[in-house]
Structure 1
Amino acid sequence: MLRLVTASLYLRSPRTQVIPLLHVRPCTSFIQQENTVAVDALYNLCVDISKVRKQKGWVLRQSPAYVSETAALLRDMGASESIIARVLELYPEAILCKPEEMDAQRKLWMSVCPKPMDLVGIIEKFPSSFFTSSSDHDNQKANILYFQSIHLNKRIISKLMATAPQSFSQPVKQNEEMIQMLQKTFLDLGGREDNMKVWLQKLITQNPYVLSKVPEALHNNLVFLRDNGFTSSELLQLLTKLKGFVTELNPESIKHSLSYSQEILGCTEAELRQIVLECPALLYYPVPILAERFKGLLAAGMSIEKIMETPTVLELTTQIVQYRIQKLRSYGYDAQTGSLQVLNGTKKDFEKSYGQLHLRRERPLFNPVAPLTTED
């Protein structure tokens, strides 16, 4: 009993020395289901086994596994040992791809990304896009040929393959239908044919997921907006600003969002359309989000009139708005009396804005006609 009490007091003592854990090789033999050969190979590549085991432990129980072959492929393309370890930690499923499948993927990818180190950079960021099933290979190849036929350059195609791999795994006909719908819509809304290629490239690059949407969704939403008074040129402006996200909306949700916005702003339909053109987010934010953001701005002392002058402030979360208002106030800027435009933009844009305010505060402009103050 005395030993137990003494041990307990010793453990609880704040002066007890804590012995740091040593970086030891994890034991693999106690889990019989694991593929110990694969685990050992991953360990030798400095892969964090505990991380893999915690997040995707099922991979370690698969056999066969091609750890050395996967590492050799990446190494052959110029990947460093640290990059190889990061790729296998992020996407351990890579070791389940057969060597012939990986080699076929490398050849396919290098047809649009010929520089090995550029491809390594893509794999490091998007490993799941590279290590795909062999059943997708034919669709990938057909889609690459299709995108080349509509004059998308290799850089854009490789970016699409990395960020939206599902668009290359699906049958080429689905991509053809969506591209044709976008092209037709652009021309029908008054776009010039000689500008269509650049417009399409920009839209797809900004929102590659548009290719996985249903063409009818785009058509239905544009018809609904036209019925609500938007002209062809305004619809083209919205489609461009929304980067194709029009396909992710539905008429019912748009209707509710517009009705709520008009009610709280107290504006006419024509005024609302102009506000939407400046801040298309009003179309796709659901009513609860809009309500929260209006409430936050009003609680911060902003008037409806000021919100209407700079509606893009509604694209910011309430927390961001509150933080930026406080930050500006610390530099002597009152958002209630000044423009809300200074609140807008990315974090980098905002830091630049309040940095300029700080500079003005520290270095006021010299007034050559102001009287000089001198000591008597």
Structure 2
Amino acid sequence: MWPLMVTSLFVRCQRVAASPLNLRLCRTLNSPPENQQTVQTLYDLSVDIQKVRKLKGWVLHQSPAYAEEISIILKNMGASESIVANILGVYPEAVLCHPEQMQTQMELWRTVCQNKKDLVGIIEKFPASFFTPSSDHENQRQNIDYFQSLKLNKRIITKLMACAPQSFSRPVEENKAMVHALQEAYLELGGDEANMKIWLQKLMSQNPFALLKPPELLRQNIMFLRDRGFTSAELLHLISKLKGFVTELNPGGMCQSLAYSQGIMGCSEKELRDIVFNCPALLYYPETVLAERFAALLKAGISMSQIMETPTVLELTTQIVNYRIQQLKTFGYDVRSGSLEALNGTKKNFEMSYEKLQIRKERPLFNPVAPLKGDD
């Protein structure tokens, strides 16, 4: 009885141990082998094959593939061998695009970006935007024609195609609806029609994804802010200063952020509107982010009144705030008693303020070389 039990257990263990191996063998046998022509061509182009296998190995198993043809198209556009290798290494799916379709795509993109060198740079940075399905080409063509009819700068159109290709792959009617909603809102809020094209270009340049939102959301957000007491002029300022993020917001999220901000600052509705007018970011930061940033500033000894005077300091992350406070402290600048403007701003602006403090510290109080004034 005992030998029988041992034998049975041994057989069962063998089956359990062998199962994963058998499954792996089955998967290997069922999957197609790598396309050796693709692998060899990519290798000859100095593409990192191991990286491709690790991240997008499925591409190497596809057939037909056009690695050599795509590389020739890129080289004919002026791409160097290293750029071709970089493009196909980052986005190997490009080799699955039919050469004729990519030739059509290149001609399409050159209607808005005629400089080959610039176009190669865009493809290198946004390969997924260029190597799109041929089914999208007609929508792309119609959208390009539409945006050109708006007299938009070609650089803006190119940026939209590169950063937000979804805007060009979808039906042109959807973009027309959102652009019309933006134009309508701009004029209703008192915008000057003569400057509307410049305003629209700036908005889309700052946030290329603004067009992907439904027009109804834009109207809801404007209605919500109007109900909170913002004037038409203030709303126009907010829409412009939010860099298109007004289309990313929603009334529910804004309501929570404003309620938290007003609660922690203990300000009136009018004061809150003034603060938001100077720092529109308060509209889209969630409560958790605001709580962390308020806490970091207060922990550093900064008063709530200082924050209310310079609310844009809330746009800085906690890590940046702490770093800048320490940097300023080395030159004897105490943010607890000084203006937060020294702490505020972009990295470039802060570095300029920091350099001024450094010069002020290193400069002697008097010039030892200058002659002393004597009595007349």
Give 1:349 shift: 2.1
CA deviation vs aligned residue, 1:296-344 (integer Å, no higher than 9, x gap):
1000100000000110000111111001100111122111111111122
CA deviation vs aligned residue, 1:273-307 (integer Å, no higher than 9, x gap):
00001000110011111001000100010000000
Give 1:347 shift: 1.9
- Residue in 1 aligned with 2:152? 152
Give 1:346 shift: 2.1
What secondary structure, in the 3-state scheme, does the structure 2 residue paired with 1:33 have? coil
- Residue in 1 aligned with 2:311? 311
Measure the CA separation in 2 of the matches of 1:236 and 1:365: 49
Measure the CA separation in 2 of the matches of 1:279 and 1:125: 32
What secondary structure, in the 3-state scheme, does the structure 2 residue paired with 1:93 have? helix
Give 1:33 shift: 2.1
User: Are positions 1:237 and 2:237 aligned together?
Assistant: yes
Larger mean CA deviation between 182-191 and 58-67 belongs to 58-67
What secondary structure, in the 3-state scheme, does the structure 2 residue paired with 1:70 have? helix
What secondary structure, in the 3-state scheme, does the structure 1 residue paired with 2:113 have? coil
Runs of 4+ in structure 1 over 3 Å off: 364-368
What TM-score do you get using the length of structure 1 for normalisation? 0.88
Give 1:153 shift: 2.0
What TM-score do you get using the length of structure 2 for normalisation? 0.88
Measure the CA separation in 2 of the matches of 1:52 and 1:274: 53
- Residue in 2 aligned with 1:186? 186
CA deviation vs aligned residue, 1:72-130 (integer Å, no higher than 9, x gap):
00100111000001101111111010001110001000111111111111111111111
CA 1:93 to 1:365, structure 2 compared with 1: closer, same or farther past 3 Å? Answer: farther
Measure the CA separation in 2 of the matches of 1:299 and 1:168: 47
Give 1:353 shift: 1.6
Alignment of 1:10-25 (within 5 A): none
- Residue in 1 aligned with 2:323? 323
For these two proteins, the number of residue pairs brought into alignment is 342
| Identity of matched residues, % | 65
Measure the CA separation in 1 of the matches of 2:216 and 2:307: 34
Alignment of 1:1-376 (within 5 A): 33-364=33-364, 366=366
Larger mean CA deviation between 327-336 and 348-357 belongs to 348-357
Measure the CA separation in 1 of the matches of 2:79 and 2:352: 37
- Residue in 2 aligned with 1:15? none
Give 1:32 shift: 6.5
* Structure 2: tracts of 5 or more residues without a match: 1-30
Give 1:196 shift: 0.6
What secondary structure, in the 3-state scheme, does the structure 2 residue paired with 1:295 have? helix
Give 1:371 shift: 10
What secondary structure, in the 3-state scheme, does the structure 1 residue paired with 2:184 have? helix
Measure the CA separation in 2 of the matches of 1:367 and 1:312: 39
* Structure 1: tracts of 5 or more residues without a match: 1-30
> What is the RMSD of the two structures over their aligned residues, measured on CA atoms?
1.7
CA 1:366 to 1:222, structure 2 compared with 1: closer, same or farther past 3 Å? Answer: farther
Give the AA of the match of 1:230.
Answer: F
Give 1:52 shift: 1.1
Give the AA of the match of 1:50.
Answer: Q
